[in-house]
Structure 1
């Protein structure tokens, strides 16, 4: 059987972000615009760069003791990078946060003062890019995005550093939280996973959305008792179809849902037999600390993180222990990998 060839640098840095079982059990803390808005919603003028950096540092300091890695941004997250626990891997975002709602296509941009090389120089094990992607968009839009991803992939290849892509599905007609989009989403996620598994992009791992919106899954914790997009069996089939389209290891993002909803969703993925390799979980674990931080300060936030934040991460880790599979499973295990010098 032909082995999968992975360069030593990429292999070792992926391993640095995984736990002893090869599972990515990471905290996502690269939110910038959304975190600022959440803080400002509670107290106008409070979302300063210093406050955002302080919040990130506390999350990193406490939660990386229970996580295999943390995802941060170089704009506000470098102090937090230095605060992470020993042995915890570091992923850094390379994209400008958000998109221009007035422009067509949600085109991505890179941080102007940064390069993949500079991210590595400050300690990144992994370079991460978020990409909004609509498979039904005009060809020129998606070709622009594909070329963008190829350029980042080439940068990472040259530096022998892993490249994680976070593609987020959207539609030009329906809102992302609508019933109509919930019905479109499984096919969109499947197409996205298939496209970005292609070797030309140089991607090492996909950080993806689950292929369903649990708000419209009858019987789920998120279901509000109104409209239904899929039943449990259909939801499992959507998970299976998306996973089958992937030719790379993939991990799930929480997408801002409550921690209990996210854990239930991961259990559904495992019930469907999906070989996901962990999570990069953000708001589900720490968003409850935002009002504590705004109303009571850093010390109160640290206390909240030590109690509720740690409980959230540990509960998620328990699900990963039961449900996730090592990142190299999709290749046939470590024995199926040839490390190239």
Structure 2
């Protein structure tokens, strides 16, 4: 059996410059916020995702897609560039309490062997981290997920995202990101996708210190995501995180969110998003070169 490794989803420099288009109901909300008449049809999401894959994948080392809205179409239309690996989201998002993702479980409808035959090299699992929920359950889910990936020769990517506790309003996001890393940073996955400390805001030194703290607790390669980070601050966030030990990014919003709801999607992706992604890739290569 062929087993894929992290090298299959990196740039030649060894860094990760990966694009996410696996947002689901959150993306529908973005279209609605951009003025697309509600209800925003599934086809709007699918078309955007497939266009993004076609136009942006040549500039990414890997692209993360979801089964719900675009996986089949991306495979059938051969939307992903040969130079770009495919990662499939293996998380089922369960809405509740007025938010699109209130809890997560492993998506049983994702067949590892089938996606591997279609060319996928990795699976990704979102793990919601709340201080008042059971750590054992989270670790158990990650263990099950790692086993699912590794027994099928696929790379395992986990994405712990912190949330306020179910009870009480005592929430320190920065501490929660660290606590989640302490719990899951040595959980046997291949890659850890993490929220950027401080939302990438403020003086560089404070960001670096926060990123160094995070690095201490993650015992595997790690990359940052861009949700919650102003897209203008994201390139600096990648630099700072990589200075602290990160190996790149797996991000969507910083690359394409400003294009949502604009006319001529393909043109906008080409003119606005391609340069952003190219620049981020250059930053990753530059930061990797400093390590050698």
- Residue 323 of structure 1 and its aligned partner are, at CA, apart by 2.5
Q: Which moved more, 1:186-195 or 1:61-70?
A: 186-195
In the other structure, the counterpart of 2:173 is: 185
In the other structure, the counterpart of 1:261 is: 233
Q: Secondary structure, in 3 states, of the residue corresponding to 2:18?
A: strand
Matches of residues 87-166 of structure 1 in structure 2 within 5 Å?
87-97=83-93, 99-101=95-97, 106-134=102-130, 136-138=131-133, 141-166=134-159
- Given that 1:108 and 1:145 are in contact with CA atoms closer than 8 Å, whether structure 2 keeps it comes out as no
In the other structure, the counterpart of 2:257 is: 287
Q: Secondary structure, in 3 states, of the residue corresponding to 2:158?
A: strand
Is 2:273 the partner of 1:309? yes
Correspondence for 2:11 among 6, 19, 23: 19
- Given that 1:70 and 1:88 are in contact with CA atoms closer than 8 Å, whether structure 2 keeps it comes out as yes
In the other structure, the counterpart of 2:32 is: 40
- Residue 320 of structure 1 and its aligned partner are, at CA, apart by 1.6
Q: Distance in 2 between matches of 1:63 and 1:306?
A: 8
Q: Distance in 1 between matches of 2:278 and 2:231?
A: 11
- Residue 311 of structure 1 and its aligned partner are, at CA, apart by 1.2
Q: Which moved more, 1:73-82 or 1:113-122?
A: 113-122
Q: Secondary structure, in 3 states, of the residue corresponding to 1:257?
A: coil
Is 2:11 the partner of 1:10? no
- Given that 1:90 and 1:123 are in contact with CA atoms closer than 8 Å, whether structure 2 keeps it comes out as yes
TM-score, normalised to structure 2's length? 0.88
- Given that 1:276 and 1:324 are in contact with CA atoms closer than 8 Å, whether structure 2 keeps it comes out as no
Q: Distance in 2 between matches of 1:277 and 1:8?
A: 24
- Residue 132 of structure 1 and its aligned partner are, at CA, apart by 0.7
1:145-199 C-alpha deviation (Å, 9 max, x unpaired): 221111111111211211100000122244xxxxx85xx333322222232233x
Root-mean-square deviation (CA, aligned residues, Å) is 2.6
Q: Distance in 2 between matches of 1:256 and 1:84?
A: 26
Q: Distance in 2 between matches of 1:58 and 1:166?
A: 25
Q: Secondary structure, in 3 states, of the residue corresponding to 2:120?
A: coil
Consecutive unaligned residues in structure 1, runs of 5 or more: 1-6, 175-179, 220-231, 334-341
Is 2:68 the partner of 1:75? yes
- Residue 249 of structure 1 and its aligned partner are, at CA, apart by 0.4
Is 2:200 the partner of 1:204? no
TM-score, normalised to structure 1's length? 0.76
- Residue 98 of structure 1 and its aligned partner are, at CA, apart by 5.2
Larger radius of gyration: 1
Q: Secondary structure, in 3 states, of the residue corresponding to 2:87?
A: strand
Q: Distance in 2 between matches of 1:245 and 1:143?
A: 18
- Residue 260 of structure 1 and its aligned partner are, at CA, apart by 1.6
Q: Distance in 2 between matches of 1:239 and 1:65?
A: 29
1:243-288 C-alpha deviation (Å, 9 max, x unpaired): 0111100011111433221112223334xx3121111110111112
Q: Distance in 2 between matches of 1:32 and 1:246?
A: 27
Query: In 2 relative to 1, CA 107–281 (structure 1 residues): closer, same or farther, beyond 3 Å?
Result: closer
- Given that 1:194 and 1:247 are in contact with CA atoms closer than 8 Å, whether structure 2 keeps it comes out as no
Q: Distance in 2 between matches of 1:324 and 1:256?
A: 25
Q: Distance in 2 between matches of 1:248 and 1:325?
A: 19
Is 2:58 the partner of 1:62? no
- Given that 2:199 and 2:228 are in contact with CA atoms closer than 8 Å, whether structure 1 keeps it comes out as no
